[in-house]
Amino acid sequence: MAQDYAVVLQYHRFDEFRYPSTNISSKDFKKHLQYLKENNFTVWKLSKIIKYLKENKQLPKKTVAITIDDSYKSVYKVAYPILKSFNFPFTVFVNSAPTLHRSKRYMRIEEMQEMGKNGCEFANHTHTHRFLVRYDEKVLEKEVKKEILKCQKFIDKYLKPYKSPVKMLAYPFGEFDKRVKKIVKDLGYIGVAQNSAPISNKSDFLALTRFPLAGRYANFKGFKLKVSTKPMPITAVNNDTIVTPKNNPPKLTLKLQKKLKIECFRSNGERLKIDYTTPTTITIESKTKLKYPRDHYTCTAKDKDERWMWFSYMWVVLK
């Protein structure tokens, strides 16, 4: 059997317990990979999945990509040996400045090259991992381009045999808006976000979704649910992701392709108010103001096969 969607997993740190919000234990990580192996998931590099989706080719059933952001030292020391033992390919989004400055908390070039020889592809995560949407308007375009191009120069120089054949940029902190997306598009990149949902051939290729798996989101029960999700058959009609004091809390209007029994929640677990304008058009709103620096509205519904359909929308909250 084949399908036109895939689940993308996102990790950051491994066995770095001082950073609980971005960490997963090696024990839990092994458990995740063991589940993929025992349940016959197909694990591909993210670039290969994107290529298939862009060309409207069918993917193998239960296709998953493993992605890791920030190129921390624990990626090489902890995650890499585990991934190698399973013979799983994976994608690392690199922010280049810490490696060039020889930070002890980040991988060395030689370590990245070794991983590249054993199933890893590298893609862009900007040079210094800045908040791209929060630059002053006068310098935003110049600074965002500089961040992306400096990182790409590093990848092209040191990791060329192992760089992703598809130009991909993972947004630092998952933050983007319509201005940043236009810059990413003009530079010829696919944009990769951090709000959770499967990706499909109907996805926004300037804001591809991933399931973050760290801290409380790394638990095994949640992992098993997420790797089996399907895309929600909807189209988001909001023009932008930015929340200002004037439009906080924001409204999210979605058009459903079919009538669904849908539930939506905020990142803090609050059940969101849903108004049905029509049987297939809904407006979602929080009862309270979203908190700085960002938040999500996440919606789920069960399909006829009892599997969960999933959609998440990311908000960048300005002071």
- Measured from the Cβ of residue 17, the count of other Cβ atoms closer than 10 Å reads 8
4-15 pLDDT, tens digit per residue, is 999 999 999 999
Specify whether domain 2-228 bears CATH 3.20.20.140: no
Intervals of the chain under pLDDT 50: none
pLDDT at 1: 67
Q: Where are the domains of the chain?
A: 2-228, 234-317
pLDDT at 287: 95
CATH domain 234-317 topology: Immunoglobulin-like (2.60.40)
Whether the Cβ atoms of residue 92 and residue 68 lie closer than 8 Å to each other: yes
Residue 224 CB partners (closer than 8 Å, separation 6+): 35
Closest CA to 236 of 302, 306, 315: 315
pLDDT at 235: 79
pLDDT at 2: 81
